[in-house]
A and B are shown apart, each in its own frame.
Chain A
Amino acid sequence: MKKKLYYFLKKYEPLFTKGGRFEQMAPAYNAFYTFLFTPEYTTQKGAHIRSAVDLKRVMIIVVMALIPALIFGIWNTGHQYYIQAVEAGLEQNVTWLDEFLLGLKKVLPLIIVSYVVGLGIEFYFAIKRGHEVNEGYLVTGMLIPLIMPVEIPLWILAVSVAFAVIFGKEVFGGTGMNIVNPALVARAFAFFAYPSTMSGNQVWVPFADKYDAISGETILGMLAQGKQVPWSWWDMFVGTIPGSVGETSFLMIMSGALLLLFTKVGSWRIMIPGFLGGIFMGLLFNLWGANALMQFPWWQHLLVGGFAFGIVFMATDPVTAAQTRLGKIIYGFLIGMFAILIRVLNPAYPEGMMLAILLMNVVAPTIDYFVVEANVKKRMKRKLKLNKQTA
């Protein structure tokens, strides 16, 4: 079977190599081929032996880390609708399977649209530029549906994805060259271009716009309006609260975080200072305590909204984060701080994670600059000292 598949692919390879009929389509063929088989390339220069880790393996770990949050998010999407629907008498005798299936019906189209549109554009650029299709979108394509409200219209999602891939990534030269996290570009685009589909109390729970009885307000939205929060900390921890598809369950996000940290694919130098920054800011506001958001306990700030999801999966994106070890620690800490700061002090918008990460993405090169310059200064001092001795 394996051999047959291999020879089948090899049979058509000449069509895509130089001089072949579909020469231009080579990146598409290669992407498909290398998905099935590792290419038989051997080392040509430098070290003769190489580790078995390539970007495909690294990216697939991140996708694996997202799966618990994804599966829980699918179930929770249905669950949020049915608990309210049953209460209002719209539905009866609901099992967890019904909840999961409804969630699947709602979330699966988001994932499909994200991958089809995003990968389509990636393939187009790869073929146009004659370079290989990069693995980066495997992760971005999964992140985007997880940070969107479930009721976002599919066409808005498609437009956001297209905007993110083209203007968030490809204009800079593709994976590895982008300044800001492309998944967040998609969210920010949708948020500023179509604000009514990205906030308020009608988008976070399925059919909330259809039935008056179903309300989809997030915890942060309620706090911003000074309302009483009906959920316990346990709900927030497990994730049975309304919110973007993948962001609600602290528990599931943390199990993904453990995988990232254990495999060393995710950087603890960003995650841990990130949480510490959030705790620090939360404590400060608790001491101040001027309104409901400020009084909200610091440790519950970590459980609600996109905080945990952002720190674990978005801030740790190695391309847009700071590149130096010390820089990463500063970068992570500031993201945590700014997320809570924006969340509490910005009256127009009760969630700060997206803006905090986008802001720090832009600042990250500056942090690195100062860290690297400190290192350079040491070196230049040695040079100066030597020149003085010899002079």
Chain B
Amino acid sequence: MISLSSFVENIIQEHSMKIRVKRGLNLNLKGKSKPVSDPFPSPSRYAVKPIDFVGIAPRLEVGEGDHVNAGDVLFYSKYQPQIKFTSPVSGKVKEIVRGRRRVILRVVIEADETISYKSFNPVADNADTILNTLLESGIFSFIKQRPYDIVPNPEEKPKAIYVRGYDSSPLAPDYDFALKGEEAMLQKGLDLISKLTDGKVYTIVKDGVQTLFHNLKNTELIEVSGPHPAANPSVAISRTHPIVQGERLWVVDPWTLVFIGRLFENGQLDLTKKVAFAGGVFKEPKYYKLIAGAYLKDGLSPLLKQTQDIRIISGGPLTGTNITEDGFIGLEDNVVTVLKEGKEARLFGWLPFIGTSRKTVYRLNFDWFSNKEMDLDTSLHGEERAFVMTEEMEEVFPFDIFPAHLLKAVLTEDVDNMERLGILEVVPEDFALIDYISSSKIEAQHIIRKGLNQMMVEIG
């Protein structure tokens, strides 16, 4: 007799595909979060940062002193007013911080003692009502569109949706641990979002490890193995549905699905999630439960070995944003990394085989045979130079694209060639390892972001 579970397993196996990545680099960093979670000491302030959303020109809906509920609109996109950005908590709008040329950096909210929620009456009848609820609640802005890695245009239907069930980057959160207990909401969110596409919803998972994602229905699993950036959605997309100009795909992270599930279950915008706190500076790196957008600095200090000469990063060490100054975690980030600032000047730093050991594609240190944990700081270890060692880029770039040629096309602002060389198939995070390994210290992520922005303007 065939048991039910093996029957299910068979189905899952039929509906999953495997991707093996060879080119890449795993960085074994010190300070991985232990699978323990605590509530984060309740922050008094929260912020939503328009600058975190590429290409969004914000129009404010609130002024300083206004009271908002969790889920009330703070600002919306000037060019697409349907795209709204809402408050993660209830409270008073304390301050609207502007930067140079009066760019809005962040809207800060002084949180109430107990959160009062705006009540949505979500109707999950069809794609239109689901989409409208997502837009109203602001959750839509958490979805990322490919190409360009931006908030999608709600009027364009995605051909497929990809869920990041696995993150292979250094110090990344383990979603299997972080999402434990949220399975029902995750499934609900997945069911709802799958109605927004005519194509498939793929979930990227780690090959050979049984996770809670393996029990999900309504999705096709893509099992990836190999070094980072194996789990980047671009890798899965390039193997399943290579992007062509004019096509739209969506990428969502699992917490967004949980938020969608909660929204339709309770009618409330509840952005509570477990965030991984990682990095060598933490006394005990682990997970903390908090609401997205929280002010971290006060609660962070007692958790750290040192509070001077550090860099607080919202996001991972390869792709995150430096928040040492403002101290608010980005709405979409699932990890907070704290690293030492690398200010030390090393004598004869160019001598190979001695001094700091940092794994890279070259064997210039005695670390190629060991995989010992590295406690890295933010030192650049050199100065920017022209492209010289271009072959190194391909070592960590598992796409059918020539990275050096693409970067040069962007630097010369050659839009035609950018598209021909495949810029639509990549996003900045795919170049993060090139940043890391580059012996010429090329800012590849920055260059690619510039290229994508130019493409958006000129081609769309």
Contact = CB atoms under 8 A, between A and B. Distances in A.
Nearest to A373: B420
The 8 closest A-B pairs by CB, nearest first: A54-B382, A176-B386, A38-B349, A56-B350, A47-B435, A51-B360, A37-B345, A41-B380
A21 interface: no
Contact of B347 (A36, A64, A380): A36
A45 B347 CA distance: 25
Contacts of A291: none
Given A47-B319, A47-B435, A60-B350, A372 B380 contact: no
Contacts of B242: 379, 382
Interface stretch (A140-148, A241-249, A321-329): A321-329
A319 B388 contact: yes
Given A38-B345, A318-B389, A51 B358 contact: yes
Interface in A105-153: 132, 134-136
B245 interface: yes
B342 A42 contact: yes
Interface stretch (A203-211, A226-234, A260-268): A260-268
B439 to A, nearest CB: 5
26 contacts: A38-B345, A38-B379, A38-B381, A42-B341, A42-B342, A42-B377, A42-B378, A45-B445, A46-B445, A47-B319, A48-B313, A48-B322, A48-B378, A50-B441, A51-B439, A52-B360, A54-B350, A54-B439, A57-B351, A57-B439, A173-B386, A267-B391, A323-B402, A379-B244, A379-B420, A386-B246
Interface string B288-318: 0000000000000000000000010100011
A168 interface: no
A38 to B, nearest CB: 3
B349 A51 contact: no
A175 B384 CA distance: 12
B381 to A, nearest CB: 5
Contacts of A174: 386
A348 interface: no
B446 interface: yes
A287 interface: no
B410 to A, nearest CB: 14
A319 B387 CA distance: 8
A64 B311 CA distance: 37
A25 to B, nearest CB: 17
Nearest to B391: A267
A290 interface: no
Interface of B: 27, 29, 242, 244-247, 311, 313, 317-320, 322, 337, 339, 341-352, 355-365, 376-383, 385-391, 394, 400-402, 404-405, 420-422, 432-433, 435-441, 443-446
B420 A50 contact: no
Interface string A1-27: 010011000000000000000000000
B388 A136 contact: yes
A52 B420 contact: no
Contacts, number: 216
Given A57-B364, A375-B401, A6 B345 contact: yes
Given A46-B444, A53-B358, A57-B352, 19 more contacts: A35-B350, A36-B347, A41-B380, A42-B311, A42-B377, A48-B322, A50-B381, A51-B437, A52-B356, A53-B437, A54-B381, A54-B382, A55-B385, A56-B382, A176-B440, A318-B390, A318-B391, A372-B402, A379-B244
Contacts of B355: 52
B382 A42 contact: no
B309 to A, nearest CB: 10
Contacts of B361: 264
B443 A41 contact: no
Contacts of A175: 385-386, 388
A45 B346 contact: no
Given A37-B345, A60-B351, A376-B421, A55 B445 contact: no
Contacts of B389: 55, 58, 265, 318
A49 B382 contact: no
A55 B388 contact: yes
A375 B245 contact: no
A319 B404 CA distance: 12
A261 to B, nearest CB: 10
Interface string A153-189: 0000000000000000000011111000000000000
A323 B405 contact: yes
A67 interface: no
Interface string A318-344: 110001110010000000000000000
B347 A54 contact: no
B341 A54 contact: no
Contacts of A262: 363
A115 to B, nearest CB: 17
B400 A47 contact: no
A120 B444 CA distance: 32
B420 A60 contact: no
Contacts of B444: 46
A93 interface: no
Contacts of A36: 347-348
A221 to B, nearest CB: 36
Nearest to A376: B420
A36 B299 CA distance: 41
B420 A55 contact: no
